[in-house]
Amino acid sequence: MRRFFINGAHAPSDRVILTGPDVRHIRTVLRLGPGEKILLFDDEGWQYQAQILDSAPRAITLSILSKYSAIAESRLELTIGQALLRARKMDRIVRQLTELGAFGFIPFLAGRSVPRPDPGRLAERRRRWKTIAREALKQCGRFKSPHISPVLLFRDLIFSHPSHDLRIIFHGCQSDATSWQHLESTGKTRKVLALVGPEGGFTNEEVKLAVDSGFMCISLGPRILKSDTAVVAAGAIVQHAFGDMGGAQKCLDKD
């Protein structure tokens, strides 16, 4: 059943009126009409089964049939920092990380970042990423969009997020990189910040700055991954280890 977002600040009683782009999608793409059912969700963690009462070109009126709590949010607050890539790759990354349950997304400029748009263009891209994340919620069953930060400089990012239980920088295949087997000693882990570099990778100076600031340096294995592959792998691995993708849930459940 298709899902559509409603503003949780205006929680529905027994009637909801949908407006905007969703109206056209429901009417002309899905071809749904009166009597048919859809799912609604809000950013407060609620999901609603609703039935279409009336369908007009600019608004669709629905009756709320039931309300229940959504359960697709990970208990792990995973924030991913990704060095700025070309537009389409970043769009895809935002969608995929939303599907993986990321809590936050921080785009940043590293020493080897190739795209360096002007501030106006960066603000436009951030608005686009928020829209992409919201659209991804409909497909993956989540109710809460990841927080998407303005673009930061690498150094500012390193020093502006000290409160995480675990901070990771993913970097190449260094022989001295920490292995995942050593991470179990970190204990209860609820907030993770993980950084992935640009196509050329982090510079040695950036890795040293991060490690000296308390980040663990982690390798993603013996193969060289493109950045847009590495960031998805990193998100999945961290969710598996500490989140809700079948990994070490014990780290979260021990109080």
CATH class of 77-253: alpha beta
**Per the structure block, which two tokens stand in for 142?**
């989540």
Tell me, what's the pLDDT at 45?
A: 74
230 — pLDDT class (breaks 50, 70, 90): very high
Q: pLDDT tens digit string along 182-216?
A: 565 555 789 999 999 999 899 999 999 999 999 99
250 — pLDDT class (breaks 50, 70, 90): very low
254 — pLDDT class (breaks 50, 70, 90): very low
Distance separating alpha carbons of residues 169 and 157, to the nearest angstrom: 12
Of 33-42, 136-145, 148-157, 166-175, the poorest mean pLDDT is in: 166-175
Nearest alpha-carbon partner for 52 in 66, 35, 64, 40: 35
Note the CATH number of domain 3-69: 2.40.240.20
pTM for the model:
0.77
Tell me, what's the pLDDT at 8?
A: 63
Distance separating alpha carbons of residues 252 and 53, to the nearest angstrom: 44
Q: Where are the domains of the chain?
A: 3-69, 77-253
Q: Which residues pair with 17 in a beta bridge?
A: 61
Distance separating alpha carbons of residues 50 and 118, to the nearest angstrom: 44
